[in-house]
């Protein structure tokens, strides 16, 4: 009974975190904040859901699979959101005006002033 409640609560919490990221996709001002919201929610939300499934159907094999799945999810969501944001910047998508400092623009300006 306790494992059912805990497992179900973890599944619901993970789904709520992913749903909050969906709201962020609609409400956040630029591609960079949206990417951050999705990357964070994917890492945390999916991890909570995996833990919930392992709690509901516990076995040593499921625990090992769950650990590997969480590690893979955390690595890929972090790297994926970084690469997506970097590609957006390199393709010309500008951040909102409140983004300070814009280190990539400062770096590009410094490199442009060095060339002959």
pLDDT digits (tens, 9 = 90+) for 25-66: 899 888 888 888 888 888 899 999 999 999 999 999 999 999
| Dist. CA 96–CA 17, nearest whole Å | 25
The sign of the CA dihedral 93, 95, 96, 101 is negative
Task: Quote the pLDDT of residue 47.
Answer: 94
- The total of structural domains in the chain comes to 1
Task: Quote the pLDDT of residue 62.
Answer: 95
Residue 114: band (very low, low, confident or very high) from pLDDT cuts 50, 70, 90: low
pTM value is: 0.77
Residue 84: give the domain boundaries: 2-114
Contacts of 52 (CB under 8 A, 6+ apart): 6, 7, 8, 9, 10, 11, 13, 14
């Amino acid at each position: 009974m306790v494992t059912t409640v805990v497992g179900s609560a973890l599944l619901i919490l993970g789904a709520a975190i992913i749903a909050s990221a969906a709201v962020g996709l609609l409400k956040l001002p630029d591609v960079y904040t949206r990417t951050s919201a999705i990357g964070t929610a994917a890492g945390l939300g999916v991890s909570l859901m995996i833990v919930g499934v392992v709690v509901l159907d516990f076995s040593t094999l499921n625990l090992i699979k769950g650990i590997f799945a969480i590690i893979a999810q955390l690595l890929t969501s972090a790297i994926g959101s970084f690469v997506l944001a970097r590609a957006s910047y390199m393709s010309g998508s500008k951040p909102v005006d409140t983004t300070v400092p814009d280190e990539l623009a400062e770096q590009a300006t410094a490199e442009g002033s060095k060339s002959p």
